[in-house]
Structure 1
Amino acid sequence: MKTLLSAAVAAAAMMTVMGAAPAMADERICRGTLGGGTVDDVKVPAGATCRMDGTRVKGNIKVERGATLVATRVVVIGNVQAEGHKAVTIQRGARIGGDVQTKQGGATSVSASVIDGNIQLEQNRTGAQRVIDNRVNGDVQAFSNRGGVRIVDNRIDGNLQCKSNSPAPTGGNNTVQGNKEDQCRRL
């Protein structure tokens, strides 16, 4: 028993010293078009444009600086995250299992889709931010955007929160289970 325990401790120590790498999902780089089919994580590299139609993503989509994503009828198990993006469009029956997060970039449009997490639009400097005709199981948050925000015809299970956007958000006809707050209290 003592020998078996010593061997197990030695094996664990050897793996620590050798730096056993964790298993990672394959990341698909998207420049151009991805049709139907299933992929793991997707990265839209800086400056690229990725069009997805009917694609199933088992992980996350990451949109890098200056990149554009147009996602139609996609199913994403994880999140859609963009920072410094040119444009992000999620539309026509897309289903996102996590959050949609865009920050410090350009235009964002989420329409006619189901978002199981939150929609977070933060400090986007150029281009309109549009959230239209969606089912959102979390919150919709728009903070410090400068290109205009329009939020209309959504069903939101959480809160609708807007603060420090210029101009102030427009829209209406949103069904919100939580609170409508600050600049969005009348939407």
Structure 2
Amino acid sequence: MNATIRFASLLLGTTLLSLPAYADEVDCSGSMGAVSIDGDIRVPSGRTCTLNGTRVDGNVRVARAATLLARDVKVEGNIQAEGARQVSLLGGSYVGGNVQLEQGSSVKVDTAEVDGDIQLFSNSGAVHVNRNRVDGNLQCKSNQHPITGGGNRVRGNKEDQCAGL
């Protein structure tokens, strides 16, 4: 093996080691940075998960009374929460499926790209939806407070409480 091929092999091996991959379902309590998850992430009840630059090949599920803070993430599947304390999807994040946040408290979706729908139903806290690109529908219904935000580009429909966003 010549020196160029050995160097390339070493460089490739180093690159793979710097971005570890995790498989199946991973419980997140704490922070994850620029890692790749080959499966799903679950935020357990009452816990907080911070994702920063994380890549997820599956779904992100947020349990009751849990918190998800996600910035610059790439999720190939869905982000789903029912009864969450807080969900924030921020800063250039991408979701290949849907964002479905129901019966929780605080919700913030800002500067995200979503290939499916954003559905925000029956949340009791502040809901902010701003500067997102949505290939499906933007649906907001039965939230307790007025929805704030604007500048959302939606290919489908802007419905109910999100009609003016």
State the TM-score, normalizing by the size of structure 2: 0.83
Number of aligned residues: 142
Indicate the residue corresponding to 1:132 in structure 2.
130
- How far does residue 108 in structure 1 lie from its aligned partner after superposition? 0.8
- Where 2:144 maps in the other structure, the secondary structure is coil
- Where 2:116 maps in the other structure, the secondary structure is coil
> AA paired with 2:85?
K
CA distance in 2, matches of 1:147, 1:69: 20
CA distance in 2, matches of 1:34, 1:65: 20
CA distance in 2, matches of 1:148, 1:45: 29
Indicate the residue corresponding to 1:59 in structure 2.
58
CA distance in 1, matches of 2:104, 2:111: 22
Q: After superposition, where does 1:118-157 map in structure 2 within 5 Å?
A: 118-125=117-124, 127-157=125-155
- Where 1:26 maps in the other structure, the secondary structure is strand
Give CA-to-partner distance per residue, 1:49-79, whole Å, 9 cap, x none.
0000000000000000000000000000000
CA distance in 2, matches of 1:55, 1:73: 7
- Where 2:50 maps in the other structure, the secondary structure is strand
- Give the greater-gyration-radius structure (CA): 1
The structure, 1 or 2, with the larger RCO (C-alpha pairs under 8 Å, 6+ apart) is 2
Indicate the residue corresponding to 2:42 in structure 1.
43
Give CA-to-partner distance per residue, 1:56-108, whole Å, 9 cap, x none.
00000000000000000000000000000000000001000000001111111
What residue ranges of structure 2 are gaps of 5+ in the alignment? 1-22
Q: Percent identity?
A: 44
| Backbone CA RMSD of aligned residues | 1.2
Q: After superposition, where does 1:61-80 map in structure 2 within 5 Å?
A: 61-80=60-79
Q: Post-superposition, which runs of at least 4 consecutive aligned residues in structure 1 deviate over 2 A?
A: none
CA distance in 2, matches of 1:147, 1:68: 19
- How far does residue 151 in structure 1 lie from its aligned partner after superposition? 3.7
